[in-house]
Structure 1
Amino acid sequence: MKHVVVGMLAHVDAGKTTLTEHLLYSAGAIRQMGRVDKKDTLLDYDAMERERGITIYIKQAALRLGDMEMTLVDTPGHADLLSETQMALATLDYAILIISGADGVQTNTKQLWKLLEAYRVPTILFVNKMDQIKADKQRLRKQLKEAFGDGCIDVKGADYLEEVATLREDVLEQYLEKGDISREILKELILQRKFFPCFYGSALHSQGIDEFIEGLREYLVEPKRLDTDAAIVYKITRDEQARRLTHLKVMGGVIRPKMMLMGEDDEPQKIDQVFSLFGEKKQGIDEAKAGQLCAVTGLEDSYVGQGLGCQDVPWRAQMMPVISKQIIFEERVSLMQAYQRLQQLAEEMPQLHLEWKEDTQEIHVRLLGKVQEEILKSLLRERYGYEVTFGPGRILYRESVTRAVIGTGHFEPIRHYAQVHLLIEPAERGSGMVIASKCSIDVLPRTWQKVILNTLRQPQIGVLTGAVLDDVKVTLISGKAHVKHSQPGDFREATMRALRQGLMKNDSILLEPIYEFELCLPAEMIGRAMGDFEKMGGRVQAPQIVAEQAYLKGMVPVGAFGDYAQEVLSYTKGQGTVTCVLAGYEKCEKQMELIATSDYDPNKDLAHPSGSVFCIQGSTQMVPWNEVDEKIHLPEHLQSEDKEKEVAVKKSSASTHKVDTYAQEKELEELYQRTFGMAMRKTDDSHRRSKVMVSQQPHIKGQDPLAGKLKKEEYLLVDGYNVIFSWSELNAIAKDNIDGARMKLMEILSDYQGIRDGYLIVVFDAYRIEGHEEEVMRYHNIDVVYTKEAETADQYIEKTAHRLGKNHNIRVATSDGLEQIIIRGQGCRLTSSRELKEEIERAMSEAKEGHSQSKELEKNYLLDYADDSTKEKLEQMRLGKRS
């Protein structure tokens, strides 16, 4: 039997739930139609959904239309919940977009259309509530074409085929020749998103429903499926027994219990049970076939958008939260426990973007609006008994660049070396961070390039307010390593410095989120509304007056809009409504004001240094970012390979940014700590040794370093102190400075992790420290665990191995004899401290050998990006020096 997955999408109050009930009833899938007002509909079974009368979560039900089985996917319609809707779009073969005939095309309807367009989902329209007085069919037909294009055609219209014929030249020829258009051509046009059949009726009064169902039978075909067993993940939930359910769309073959599927990283994923879903009912099945939706257990590390047996879904959220708020708990609540529970919730609702603020010990989430906030409150109360409030909203600005520059990072403390050159340029608005490489492996081996690109893929921040970088393209164009002294950690350092140096040289801009709004209110109040939006800095279209109602559309900055929706309700005495959707990001008009109030100084951000580190006359020296180009002796003008983008590289001595020498000293001291595990010797001890900076990724006492969306790869658990006292060079450091030995080990393991796959966790005993709670922190690319009071590293490793050994490849590095016996009992692989050292030395040696084999190690590789005249001039200079 053929299978198609059809999504039901609509703006709030368009009648989506009623139409869904009618389709299920007409196909015999349910015995009686439910009603929203009676709170007995099949798919809105959640208590919050019935209380509010809106769809909050994605749900599904199956029905049959002739020889085709159709899975209906019900999606939320409220603007605050569209990120939930987006999660389902990659599963859809078709979409039914329901529009209220009384209200016409709303702002939120346009946003839904943009989502369907982005995911290339063939769409059929049903204009509902045509029984209401305000529903004017001619006006609606015109409005649909204006909003969504000429492909929106009334299939019951007198000129139906003539309109379809104009959509493609060959179709027009067929129509003129035969006076008809074949059904195959019509289906093809729908799949190509050129033809969008439109039906009109009333779901509540059963008008036009039979014609609509007949149209579905006529126009829907099963798309081509993959030949191999494959599925994509579109949702994560937990059932009544708290089991983790991974919701799949079967893209090809079949999904069966106990079968293995390969992830994109070629790691096998084992499925335990397979279930079919019908409303809130779940039933175990023997298999799910291509085109069907199902839920499975056993995939503990799955994530939304993951491909199993196929590529991951290219995921770029169209509906991004633009407001961040602190969750405020009661004093009795343990933040450690609350954060861990929220991490589970964030798996189900990835749009929350859970964030831990280390400096203030706060938990923040990102929200689309008030409705989402209220839903989160209810969820925390029902699941965990938490009564929470939210702090004031903070607008999430972004930073971008306006021109192309080359950023240079040089990292050369004693016995270390790395140099990186990055082309940093503006990207198309809405494209996010684009990472690329145009560097030949003859110039820089693939091992080092992998470290650089992985570093760049981590979230990056700008230099104006410390906001996230967006719409920036960063291309690795060149780099340099040392045959003997280069380490992965050196290239992480050089990469971050190159990026920051390029940003400091660039003309950065602040981007602010923009709402597209639609306001409906009594006509006599339109003047007040237009004045309000003018004060907000908004852009409005000419108002439309229909009877006694006025409609106003336009754009407004999110920061200025605030709680204006509540203000509208107040001054219109409940007669006005305003809907908003995120239209994107634009250059911020109040940039200077926001920068002044942000209290962010890029020169004092020790976690994101912009200067470089040079070895000058045998000593390590910090060089400010505006002197780096002079030290490197870069040519004045460079070009990218396409010869179109000239990049100005200036000696930025006249920069508006001030260089903080005290910050440089602190950075240099921390550099010594990271590199050598000890404080830098000073002639002046006026400044205390500062703490070692760790990665700014969220971490918290008690956080599980294995939690989250990690794929099934090898986990290497290292008994930290056992290794320190087993390695002679670390043992020697430990006799004088145990902190130095610990930091040196962390740096070695971090370097090693940079050229291997999987995940690495180093565990240190803190069991003798009274009152110490388990603490986990992120150091570069490894997790560091300090055990809680009365728990040894052995016990932590044993506990972790027992918990994860069945589903993961666990390897433990220790020379503790008793621990080795226990670990073998857990089925884990063992590596002695000596073997680990040999393994690391061998891996690092192989990486360096790959570099030493480069034939063009000594050439001036930057010439690849110079114009012909500059190449000739520089070559003459080079030859002149040699002579």
Structure 2
Amino acid sequence: MARTLNLGILAHVDAGKTTLTERLLHTAGVIDEVGSVDHGTTHTDTLALERRRGITIRSAVVSFTLGDVTVNLVDTPGHSDFIAEVERALAVLDGAVLVVSAVEGVQAQTRVLMRVLHRLGIPTLVFVNKVDRAGARPEAVLAQIADRLTPDAVALGEVIGAGTRGARVERAPDTDPVTLDRLAEVLTRHDDRLLAAWLGDDGAGDGVAPARLRAALAEQTAAVRVHPVLFGSAATGAGVAELMAALTALLPTAAGDADGPVSGTVFKVERGPAGERLAWVRMFSGTLRVRDRLPVGGAEARVTGIRVCEDGDDVVSQALAAGRVGVLTGLTGARVGDAVGMPWAGAAPAHHFSPPSLEAVVEPCDPRRRAALHAALTELCEQDPMVGLRQDDVRRELSVSLYGEVQKEVLAATLADDYGVPVGFRETTPLCVERVLGAGAAFELIDVDPNPFLATVGLAIEPAPVGHGVDFRLGVELGSMPPAFFTAVEGALRETLLQGLHGWAVPDAVVTMTHSGYWARQSHAHGTFDASMSSTAGDFRLLTPLVLATALRRAGTVVCEPVHRFEVEVPADALGAVLALLSRAQAVPLETQVRRTAHLLSGLVPAARVHALRQQLPGVSRGEGVLVDAFDHHEPVRGPAPERARTDHNPLDRKGYLLHTVRRQ
């Protein structure tokens, strides 16, 4: 029976993962020659921008066959600015290969990726690439892997002639005592019975056969207890055959009942040549067929076409079974992360990485292209929900959420090349939030000045724990108003809390409705509806922001800026200069570890300072400093609170708000 392995290739930028993907496809017979990243001829980097810049921006899926296993290979971005794209790929993986350069060693993004792979329980092989490059040091990199990534790394071979074009990989025979000892040392940490057998304490007296160690290696790799390390060169092909053998021998293939309930997840959305929406779906259970109707993200959709990955291409199919990856058409409202059919209980959590902590206003170079820019950004948001488009109708401005400056450059190039809309960006700024400080309440009664709306709304707001979200509660009888009016209040208050007293979102709060009232539908004797005497949902939608703004003002808020946790590794003799640089960046080192010839500093730094810190670090560390950072939390801004321009009619300004919204005075 055919099996499927959904495999991710992950790495720090420039470690060689796209070249490794090309080599795997070539060795499997899918392509005739290995494409070149430098020449823009790779099979998976299909975007013109990817080929021009030599980096992966969008995840790509391509398949090949190894024996009875169909491997769906996902090539992911390596640059930290595109970590959201990596996140989407992780939701569909059965296993992963983490690529590490034999020259540069374990780098910043490598450590971030390994931590997430561990947290999600994804079985992972480590491939030490570029053993043929000058400066390759596979043994030192193996020590780095054990020190910085995982102590449960076990090498499955050694490199002969490292650093030369003729470098090759040899795997010692299973009977080699040194190899067996090295393998057993790692495996017995997690298996007491294996340890007893290895020490001869189990009473059997026959030691441990090599076959038992191999079986234990596969079992513990699948359970994410150990990480086999293989060596090679994607450029020359050295060690690639050994890697391919390890894929099917050590990584678990896809599970799932093809006859079970239909359950899958959308992990990528893009547009086809005719502008149609294409949804990339991983099936966890059941079988999806053309013309099936099923729920997708809460709305019903009809599958009009299916294409499945097969031998380097995607081909038309009538069905998509459990374990497989395919492209579906007809899911017009599908977004990344939507469940297809029933939600899968074993699916990975929605967000494994930190959300963007920066934003910037984007403007078309030609003001007449503003509508085209909005349409383009809306489409890009379908493909990448973390772009976070924000529209300010008052100032006619658009802003986007960002991870970093490289992402901004790529977004600008994409808009110019693919949509014909050259743009410029204003300065990148931190994406702050507002936290509620205390309790506040307000109410306005129907037909009582200064309330011009036919509605009674009372709201009380109080703080909620970080990550709690906005919790809407009823302090009035559910039957005191029609359900549509309660729905209007909740929708309006959630929208209002997207902009607090200083214009930043209020992500966590408990809001209780304390007062409610309405006028029932009124008609004249001849039966016509009298809108001037009847409450509508619109009255509640328009009054709620005014009441909530008053309650929020009474409660008070504090603006909190994003803070990143950082780790920076620097040579010992550069420690003083780096500490001075961290001080200028308002970074707070919390811990220092001494490692042979280097120091590892960890601590906290404002997100607004990270870009400058990353730019200046090479200059004070002779180019040897390595910085890894990720959003950690928000903390109150020191000094005056930064203001963010509002995109609404500002319920904090009652007079101006009513001029724009009131239907009668």
Kindly tell me: are residues 264 and 326 of structure 1, through their superposed partners in 2, closer, same or farther at Cα, counting changes over 3 Å? closer
Q: Distance in 2 between matches of 1:483 and 1:174?
A: 78
Local SS of the residue matching 1:426: coil
Quote the residue 1:583 is aligned against: 631
Kindly tell me: are residues 426 and 600 of structure 1, through their superposed partners in 2, closer, same or farther at Cα, counting changes over 3 Å? farther
Local SS of the residue matching 2:368: coil
**CA displacement at 1:10 relative to structure 2:** 0.3
Please tell me whether the aligned partners of residues 355 and 364 of structure 1 are also in contact (alpha carbons under 8 angstroms).
yes
Matching residue within 452, 469, 488 for 1:433:
469
Please tell me whether the aligned partners of residues 444 and 547 of structure 2 are also in contact (alpha carbons under 8 angstroms).
no
2:248 corresponds to 1:262:
no
Kindly tell me: are residues 143 and 580 of structure 1, through their superposed partners in 2, closer, same or farther at Cα, counting changes over 3 Å? closer
Quote the residue 2:559 is aligned against: 510
Quote the residue 1:43 is aligned against: 44
2:505 corresponds to 1:468:
yes
Look up the equivalent residue of 1:256 and give its one-letter code. R
Q: Distance in 2 between matches of 1:483 and 1:461?
A: 27
Local SS of the residue matching 1:592: coil
Q: Distance in 1 between matches of 2:189 and 2:600?
A: 33
CA RMSD of superposed structures (Å):
4.0
Quote the residue 1:13 is aligned against: 14
Quote the residue 1:301 is aligned against: 333
Kindly tell me: are residues 416 and 33 of structure 1, through their superposed partners in 2, closer, same or farther at Cα, counting changes over 3 Å? closer
Within-5 A mapping of 1:338-737:
338-401=373-436, 406-414=439-447, 416-421=455-460, 424-427=463-466, 431=467, 433=469, 435=471, 447=483, 454-455=491-492, 457-458=494-495, 460-461=497-498, 463=500, 465-470=502-507, 472=508, 474=510, 479=514, 481-482=516-517, 503-504=552-553, 508-516=557-565, 527-540=576-589, 542=592, 555-567=604-616, 571=619, 575=623, 579-588=627-636, 590-593=637-640, 595=641, 598=643, 607-608=650-651, 663=653, 674=662, 677-679=663-665
**CA displacement at 1:240 relative to structure 2:** 3.2
Quote the residue 1:244 is aligned against: 277
**CA displacement at 1:678 relative to structure 2:** 0.9
2:245 corresponds to 1:214:
yes
**CA displacement at 1:443 relative to structure 2:** 8.7
Please tell me whether the aligned partners of residues 422 and 498 of structure 1 are also in contact (alpha carbons under 8 angstroms).
no
Quote the residue 2:321 is aligned against: 289
Local SS of the residue matching 1:96: strand
Q: Which structure ranks higher in relative contact order (CA pairs < 8 Å, sequence separation ≥ 6)?
A: 2
Look up the equivalent residue of 1:86 and give its one-letter code. E
Please tell me whether the aligned partners of residues 435 and 457 of structure 1 are also in contact (alpha carbons under 8 angstroms).
no
Kindly tell me: are residues 211 and 341 of structure 1, through their superposed partners in 2, closer, same or farther at Cα, counting changes over 3 Å? closer
Look up the equivalent residue of 1:586 and give its one-letter code. H
Greater CA drift, 69-78 or 436-445: 436-445
Quote the residue 1:716 is aligned against: none
Look up the equivalent residue of 1:246 and give its one-letter code. A
Kindly tell me: are residues 185 and 446 of structure 1, through their superposed partners in 2, closer, same or farther at Cα, counting changes over 3 Å? farther
Look up the equivalent residue of 1:469 and give its one-letter code. V
Please tell me whether the aligned partners of residues 77 and 86 of structure 2 are also in contact (alpha carbons under 8 angstroms).
yes
Look up the equivalent residue of 1:394 and give its one-letter code. T
Q: Which runs of 5+ in 2 are unaligned?
A: 158-178, 448-453, 521-534
Look up the equivalent residue of 1:237 and give its one-letter code. E
Look up the equivalent residue of 2:506 and give its one-letter code. L
Quote the residue 1:85 is aligned against: 86
Please tell me whether the aligned partners of residues 464 and 510 of structure 1 are also in contact (alpha carbons under 8 angstroms).
no
Q: Distance in 2 between matches of 1:502 and 1:194?
A: 52
Q: Distance in 2 between matches of 1:98 and 1:423?
A: 48
Kindly tell me: are residues 44 and 420 of structure 1, through their superposed partners in 2, closer, same or farther at Cα, counting changes over 3 Å? same
Quote the residue 1:59 is aligned against: 60
Matching residue within 164, 171, 184 for 1:161:
184
- Residues 73-110 of structure 1, C-alpha deviations (whole Å, 9 max, x = no match): 00000111112221222111212111223333322122
Kindly tell me: are residues 482 and 505 of structure 1, through their superposed partners in 2, closer, same or farther at Cα, counting changes over 3 Å? closer
Look up the equivalent residue of 1:468 and give its one-letter code. A
Matching residue within 372, 380, 398 for 1:337:
372
Look up the equivalent residue of 2:245 and give its one-letter code. E
Local SS of the residue matching 1:333: helix
Q: Distance in 2 between matches of 1:319 and 1:56?
A: 18
Kindly tell me: are residues 36 and 501 of structure 1, through their superposed partners in 2, closer, same or farther at Cα, counting changes over 3 Å? same
Q: Distance in 2 between matches of 1:92 and 1:501?
A: 48
**CA displacement at 1:518 relative to structure 2:** 6.0
Structure index of larger Rg: 1
Look up the equivalent residue of 2:608 and give its one-letter code. G
Kindly tell me: are residues 166 and 577 of structure 1, through their superposed partners in 2, closer, same or farther at Cα, counting changes over 3 Å? closer
Q: Distance in 2 between matches of 1:436 and 1:115?
A: 33
- Residues 525-554 of structure 1, C-alpha deviations (whole Å, 9 max, x = no match): 65444322211111346587988x988765
Local SS of the residue matching 2:391: strand
Within-5 A mapping of 1:161-180:
161-167=184-190, 177=202
Matching residue within 318, 321, 328 for 2:363:
328
Please tell me whether the aligned partners of residues 98 and 128 of structure 1 are also in contact (alpha carbons under 8 angstroms).
yes
Please tell me whether the aligned partners of residues 288 and 321 of structure 2 are also in contact (alpha carbons under 8 angstroms).
yes
Look up the equivalent residue of 1:161 and give its one-letter code. A
Local SS of the residue matching 1:262: strand
Please tell me whether the aligned partners of residues 59 and 279 of structure 1 are also in contact (alpha carbons under 8 angstroms).
no
Please tell me whether the aligned partners of residues 399 and 468 of structure 1 are also in contact (alpha carbons under 8 angstroms).
yes
Q: How many residues align?
A: 607
Greater CA drift, 313-322 or 21-30: 313-322
Kindly tell me: are residues 482 and 185 of structure 1, through their superposed partners in 2, closer, same or farther at Cα, counting changes over 3 Å? farther
Quote the residue 1:235 is aligned against: 268
Q: Distance in 2 between matches of 1:348 and 1:41?
A: 22
Kindly tell me: are residues 418 and 365 of structure 1, through their superposed partners in 2, closer, same or farther at Cα, counting changes over 3 Å? closer
2:304 corresponds to 1:272:
yes
Look up the equivalent residue of 2:465 and give its one-letter code. P
Kindly tell me: are residues 362 and 155 of structure 1, through their superposed partners in 2, closer, same or farther at Cα, counting changes over 3 Å? same
TM-score, structure 1 length as denominator?
Answer: 0.60
- Residues 268-325 of structure 1, C-alpha deviations (whole Å, 9 max, x = no match): 3112222235799543233332222221222222111111102287533724332222
Quote the residue 1:761 is aligned against: none
Look up the equivalent residue of 1:592 and give its one-letter code. G
Please tell me whether the aligned partners of residues 419 and 480 of structure 1 are also in contact (alpha carbons under 8 angstroms).
yes
Quote the residue 2:160 is aligned against: none
**CA displacement at 1:5 relative to structure 2:** 0.7
Look up the equivalent residue of 1:535 and give its one-letter code. R
Please tell me whether the aligned partners of residues 5 and 72 of structure 2 are also in contact (alpha carbons under 8 angstroms).
yes
Q: Distance in 2 between matches of 1:347 and 1:526?
A: 45
Kindly tell me: are residues 439 and 155 of structure 1, through their superposed partners in 2, closer, same or farther at Cα, counting changes over 3 Å? farther
Identity %: 25
Look up the equivalent residue of 1:510 and give its one-letter code. V
Kindly tell me: are residues 500 and 219 of structure 1, through their superposed partners in 2, closer, same or farther at Cα, counting changes over 3 Å? farther
- Residues 223-263 of structure 1, C-alpha deviations (whole Å, 9 max, x = no match): 43251233321112123333332211122233333332222
Please tell me whether the aligned partners of residues 7 and 71 of structure 2 are also in contact (alpha carbons under 8 angstroms).
yes
Q: Which runs of 5+ in 1 are unaligned?
A: 610-662, 680-883
Q: Distance in 2 between matches of 1:392 and 1:185?
A: 54
Kindly tell me: are residues 173 and 433 of structure 1, through their superposed partners in 2, closer, same or farther at Cα, counting changes over 3 Å? farther
Local SS of the residue matching 1:159: helix
Quote the residue 2:166 is aligned against: none
Q: Distance in 1 between matches of 2:426 and 2:475?
A: 46
Look up the equivalent residue of 1:258 and give its one-letter code. R
Look up the equivalent residue of 2:504 and give its one-letter code. A
Look up the equivalent residue of 1:214 and give its one-letter code. A
Please tell me whether the aligned partners of residues 108 and 579 of structure 1 are also in contact (alpha carbons under 8 angstroms).
no
